[in-house]
Chain A
Amino acid sequence: MTALELISLLTQSIFVLIFVLVVWGFVRRPSRTNVDIALFFGAIAIAIVETRVATTLRLPQVEIVSDIVAILIIAMPYLLLRLVDDFSDVPALVNRLAEAGLLLSAAAFLATEGTVPPPILLAVVLYFVALSAYCAVEFIRAARRSTGVTRRRLEAVAAGTLLLGAAILVAGLVPSLPPPLAGLPTGFTQALALASAIAYFVGFAPPQILRRAWQEPELRSFLRRAASLPRLPDTPTIVSALQDGAGSTLGARATIGLFDPETNTLRFQDPHGVLPAEVGEGAYLAWRVFETQHAEYFADAARAHPALASAYRTHRVRSLLIAPISAAEQRLGALEAYTDHEPVFSEDDLDLVRLLADQAAVVLESRALIDEAARVRAREEAARLKDDFISAAAHDLKTPLTTLVAQAQFLERRAQTEPSAPADLAGLRRIVREAKRLSSLVIELLDASRLEQGKLVGEREPVDLVELMRDVARRDTYQAHRISVSADAPVVGSYDPRRIGQVLENLVENAVKYSPDKSEVRVAITQRDGEAFIDVTDRGIGIPASDLPRIFERFHRGSNVDDRRFAGMGLGLFICKGIVEQHGGRIWVESRVGTGSTFHVVLPLEGAH
């Protein structure tokens, strides 16, 4: 056997092997693309096997068999074009030309009984070469649109097609060449054919190891991105970053739906506008994949899910690749990739989508753990705050109790040892004062506790805020200050009179407490756009800017407040804020140290809940 024969045998074996592998691929995953691939290599394989069998067994040439083989060979470029048509839109004109070329070549071959005159042969060869070149260009364009394994495979297929075209061209030109050169191209043709066979093998039946190697760079770049994702501020941001990452890795558009067990739906934030925000049980393919937990490829999205056909058309979605996102037993959601062209090697893309979905699951699970840790921290913080609250409350309650217990015991002892002594008025007054102080602290505490349970605000009724405020301002307690209430007309809304009264009282009390005697406290009540506005302004000590953000928090007292002079638990404004907010209103303060403060309250006039 000569070297040329060896090359030829090798080339033929590779083509037959490819045929076997693609038929196996078709059996495993019957799709139009796989049929077309199998047909193409089937034509080549039959031609090769027939020739081999005939020459090996030295069978006489059966005309009908050799005619069929010849027609199969002539049909090869046309079959290749059919394959190209599966994933890119071949213009009708090209299709018609290819069909015409096929018919003419077959007719020419049959009419001339095997010995084709050189000009016709040249025409057939040019037809072959033109179609091969067209297909190669289309494969290259498809490769440009893809990534990873698909891209590499398409590049190999394009190379195989170009090499095959070149081999045919060289072989076809041989008879037209002048004699001294005629012997030369035979080896060249064989080499081109072998190279083409190898390229096709790599393209159509790449071994697993190659697929993995091709997948790696894409996966690696995705993983690099993914590593930092769980730390993003919230889950929607993470999902959108995952969508972008998966999309660019796949060379397609991707969207992720997260399972919401409460509504039993997948929640999508589809930036491409194809899927609705909620996908529930039903015809949705994403839901189907989510339920079966098996990744699926839908070559024709519109046919697979007719209800969304128009959306698919509008957004140029041709095929779908959908994989479930799940971690261990936990079903988290689904990753859906839209492609505007049918992917040629859908099984490889499906593999990649599956891998990306797994990565997405890892990222989402990490996020869930981070969230869980934050929840635990928040719970601990809440428990700590509660402890702080209890010990601060206990401390504040024990202070008046200390005087009460000691004073009462002291009076008791005196009554026993000196029964005739006059009543200790100062001691008794101290008991009354401390008992009142204790009682108001207890009420404050109870209010704060009811507020947290949402039970503080009770029945509402029409209340005139102006009248309510005037009642508060008339109290004897404020005699050392001038309290002016300015209002043009009654301002009536539906409120719990006792609690709103408590707010007004607290604000006036604070204004009085923190401003010098004889100074003026101004209250203005107005209404505008369905809201009541209450402003309480004092010329007191003011609130330092650093305290302003926390002034409405539990137990917060201004840092310039002397605890001893201004008794209280620091719950007053916390309770006011709660009451106002439960009425659907808002409260805030403007203040300047040394100048005074203005507390603003806005309450809705109607229909607040």
Chain B
Amino acid sequence: MVDDDPSIVAVVSEILVAEGHEVVSAENGAEALAKVNGEALVLLDMRMPVLDGWGFARQFRASGKRAPIVVMTAAENARRWAEEIGADGYLAKPFDIDALIAAVERHTTRKH
């Protein structure tokens, strides 16, 4: 997951780990691109310093990666932003943890 807010990164990681997922986190798009290593799903914040969600998505797809992307944003136009970068889904912050878990399950199981 990519998010510049450390609290969100911590709590989302904790929840997903408890659900039996493995989580790699990065605080901006550039760090995420450097860490990417065949993950099954990308949870992506949009407004971030250094490299934002749009930049990350472009470079991520350009490098041939196919993993689904789910946008997580506090902005009102979450859905439009998700469409803009061709994301597979979106979570509008603040989200219910069931919605988070369901989204992660849906996009990871489809792959398997």
Contacts and interface: CB of A to CB of B under 8 A. Distances in A.
A405 B96 contact: yes
B11 A391 contact: no
Interface stretch (B1-9, B35-43, B104-112): B1-9
A413 B47 CA distance: 30
A45 to B, nearest CB: 90
B93 interface: yes
Nearest to B14: A410
Contacts of B12: 406
B8 A402 contact: yes
Given A391-B75, A395-B74, A430-B11, A402 B49 contact: no
Interface in A405-460: 405-407, 409-410, 413, 427, 430, 433-434
B4 A564 contact: yes
A400 interface: yes
A399 B5 contact: yes
B47 A402 contact: no
B50 to A, nearest CB: 9
Interface string B1-42: 000111110111011001000000001000000000000000
Interface in A386-411: 391, 394-396, 398-407, 409-410
Contacts of A562: 49
A402 B97 contact: no
A99 interface: no
B49 A409 contact: no
B84 interface: no
Nearest to A394: B76
Interface residues of A, number: 24
Contacts of B74: 394-396, 398-399, 402
B75 A395 contact: yes
Nearest to A437: B7
Contacts of B100: 406
A402 B31 CA distance: 22
A406 B19 CA distance: 14
Nearest to A405: B94
Interface in B42-96: 47, 49, 74-76, 93-96
A406 B94 contact: yes
A563 B50 CA distance: 11
Contact of B94 (A398, A427, A564): A398
Contact of A400 (B7, B95, B97): B7
Nearest to A414: B18
Contacts of A404: 94
B49 A403 contact: no
Contacts of A402: 5, 8, 74, 93-95
Given A403-B5, A405-B95, A410 B11 contact: yes
A394 B96 CA distance: 18
A525 B57 CA distance: 52
A410 B75 contact: no
Contact of B11 (A394, A407, A413, A563): A407
A564 B7 contact: no
Nearest to A564: B4
A398 B5 CA distance: 11
Contacts of A409: 96-98
Contacts of A406: 8, 11-12, 15, 94-95, 97, 100
Given A391-B76, A564-B49, A401 B7 contact: no
Given A394-B76, A563-B49, A399 B95 contact: no
B93 to A, nearest CB: 4
Contacts of B98: 409
A115 B75 CA distance: 114
Contacts of B93: 398-399, 401-402
28 contacts: A391-B75, A391-B76, A395-B75, A398-B94, A399-B74, A399-B93, A400-B7, A402-B8, A402-B94, A403-B10, A405-B94, A405-B96, A405-B97, A406-B11, A406-B12, A406-B15, A406-B94, A406-B95, A407-B11, A409-B96, A410-B11, A410-B14, A410-B18, A427-B11, A430-B10, A563-B4, A564-B5, A564-B49
Given A395-B47, A401-B93, 19 more contacts: A391-B75, A396-B74, A398-B74, A399-B74, A399-B93, A400-B7, A402-B93, A402-B94, A402-B95, A403-B11, A406-B12, A406-B97, A409-B98, A410-B18, A413-B97, A562-B49, A563-B4, A564-B4, A564-B49
Interface of A: 391, 394-396, 398-407, 409-410, 413, 427, 430, 433-434, 562-564
3 cross-chain pairs, A with B, having the tightest CB-CB distances, nearest first:
A398-B74, A403-B7, A402-B93
Interface of B: 4-8, 10-12, 14-15, 18, 27, 47, 49, 74-76, 93-98, 100
